[in-house]
Amino acid sequence: MTEEERKITAAYHAAPDQSTASFQTRVASWMGFCFGAEISADKVERNHRFLEEALELVQANGCQMNEAFELVNYVFGRPVGDLQQEVGGVMVTLAALCLASGADMHQAGESELHRVWQKVEQIRAKQAAKPKYSPLPQITLEPDAEGMLAELGAAGLHDIAARFRAMNSSLAWIVEKYMPPEGSGCDSRGVPDFVVAAAGGLCGIEPMPRSEVQCHGLDTPERVCFYEQDFYVLSNFSSFEVEWTSNHRFKTAEHCYHWLRFATGAANGRLGGAVPSEQAMAVADAVQRATSAHDAFKIAQENKHLQRADWNDVKVEKMRMIIRAKALQHEYVRRKLLATGDRELVENSWRDDFWGWGPNRTGQNMLGRLWMDLRAELRTSLAAAEH
């Protein structure tokens, strides 16, 4: 037995047992020994790992990927709930799921806690290898799509789909859904990487390790698009509250931006300008109460004749202040922003050629430029803190 194994064994036997401590207390003992205080208390990391395990649970119980995506859009389109109530909801629904599935949640928990005590070294190694600023637990694999399809031969995915059907594999319909038309050869455009990976795996073609730069949709190694992509947190419509003053909290940055168009002269001295009319303040109140970012935008556009007269002169600076507040108030937003590296940030909105790049991709992309400025600010602050 190695010295490290002796330490783990000693810590395991020294931990509180089931008769004297709650399950949560005993998990805390394992967390502290395995990861230390800093990682154990990292709420962003804990969010990611809980979500990962919850998804693996429902996947094992028959949930499909498209169902998960639909529920993500549904949940993040609703107001943020109370933490204690949501924890209770998780406990009740987990118990209900276990009842429906014939599983004993208490026994499963005890078994898993015993198992992870035996895997401390492996879990530490996995944590150490975790990609920086990413919610993913490890660097994943992705295929060289064009190279793999070339290796699959002229018939490409059509032959692969037939082979999956012969195996009665559910991957057959996925491959058929995305594969190019008959006779189009091995063109990989539009075929998702996971489909190519499945096809390559059937033929024994190994994927290559993924680099730190992850591209989705219109992303490139030099550019990150954030209107409706993996970096959607940078969008004003993403569900991150913004506290502007002690008296004003907004569901999204979009709410805050449109509120400022009409709340000129409010208690926040940074606004400046003339005192707004009662009509303008009524619009500002309606924007703040709007149930979604889209509704806030719609209310503001319908009443734009009431916005402060100099709005076009000050709106860029106000947006800069809003996204700075959003980043400073949410660690996850800061992490995702820093994870973009030195790549160009683009709000790939197809209709807005001021804040985004517009229909012809030649717009000013002002929001993307503001995020890049803020990214530079954060890096400067981090560098100063390290010295």
Residue 24 confidence class, pLDDT cut points 50, 70, 90: very high
Shared domain for 308 and 341, answered yes or no, is yes
Higher-confidence position of 354 and 228: 354
Domain that holds residue 341: 232-386
Looking at residue 107, its pLDDT comes to 92
pLDDT band at 214 (very low <50, low <70, confident <90, very high): low
Q: Is the dihedral of CA 202, 203, 205, 210 positive or negative?
A: negative
Asked if residue 258 is part of any domain, the answer here is yes
Furthest C-alpha separation in the chain? 77
CB-based burial label for 295 (10 Å; 0-12, 13-18, 19+):
middle
Does 319 or 130 have the greater pLDDT score? 319
Structural domain contains residue 135:
no
pLDDT surpasses 50 at 383: yes
Per the structure, the count of domains in the chain is: 3
Q: Tell me, what DSSP letter sits at residue 220?
A: B
Which residue, 128, 155, 180, sits at the end of a domain? 128
**Average pLDDT in the 326-335 region?**
91
- pLDDT average, residue stretch 2-21: 71
φ, ψ (nearest 5 deg) of residue 152: -75, -15
In a shared domain, residues 251 and 333: yes
Note whether 110 and 160 are same-domain residues.
Answer: no
Residue 269 has pLDDT above 50, yes or no: no
> What CATH number did the domain enclosing 261 receive?
1.10.357.40
Q: Give me the pLDDT at residue 186, please.
A: 44
339 compared with 5, residue with greater pLDDT? 339
In a domain? residue 217: no
Comparing 99-108, 123-132, 220-229, 258-267, which segment has the lowest mean pLDDT? 220-229
Residue 346 φ then ψ, to 5°: -130, 125
Summary mean pLDDT of the chain: 78
CA dihedral 59, 65, 67, 70 (to 10 degrees): 130
Residues 118 and 14 in one domain: yes
Q: Read off the pLDDT of each residue in 279-297 and give the average, rounded to a whole number.
A: 92
pLDDT confidence band for 270 (50 / 70 / 90): very low
Q: What is the pLDDT of residue 190?
A: 45
Lowest model confidence (mean pLDDT) among 37-41, 42-46, 188-192, 317-321: 188-192
Evaluate whether residue 289 is within a structural domain. yes
Residue 123 carries which side chain, given as an amino acid letter? I
| Statement: residue 274 has pLDDT above 70 | no
Predicted confidence at residue 213, as pLDDT, reads 57
If asked whether residues 276 and 197 sit together in one domain, one would say no
The stretch 227-237 carries a mean pLDDT of 72
pLDDT of 108 over the 90 cut: yes
Domain-embedded: residue 226: no
Question: Are the beta carbons of 241 and 233 closer than 8 angstroms?
Answer: no
Spatial contact of 308 and 273, defined as CB atoms under 8 Å apart: yes
Q: Provide the pLDDT for residue 210.
A: 44
- Tell me, yes or no, whether 252 lies in a domain: yes
Q: Shortest CA distance to 292 belongs to which of 239, 345, 367, 242? A: 239
Q: Cα–Cα distance between 255 and 288 in angstroms, integer?
A: 6
Give the model's pLDDT for residue 140: 45
Structure tokens, 225: 């698009």
Highest mean pLDDT among 195-209, 233-247, 266-280: 233-247
Paired tokens of 77:
């389109």
* pLDDT surpassing 50 at residue 22: yes
272: pLDDT strictly greater than 50: no
Same domain, 191 and 323: no
**Cα angle for residues 229, 252, 303 (degrees, 5° grid):** 110
Instruction: Return the amino acid letter for 193.
Output: D
Q: Tell me: do 146 and 89 sit in the same domain.
A: no
For 151-210, the pLDDT digits (tens) are 554 455 566 667 656 655 445 555 555 555 555 444 444 444 545 555 555 555 544 444
Residue 219 lies in a domain: no
Domain assignment present for residue 215? The answer is no
Whether 113 and 75 share a structural domain: yes
The answer, as to whether pTM is greater than 0.85, is no
Residue 379 shares a structural domain with residue 266: yes
Q: Has residue 267 got a pLDDT over 90?
A: no
86 band by pLDDT with thresholds 50, 70 and 90:
very high
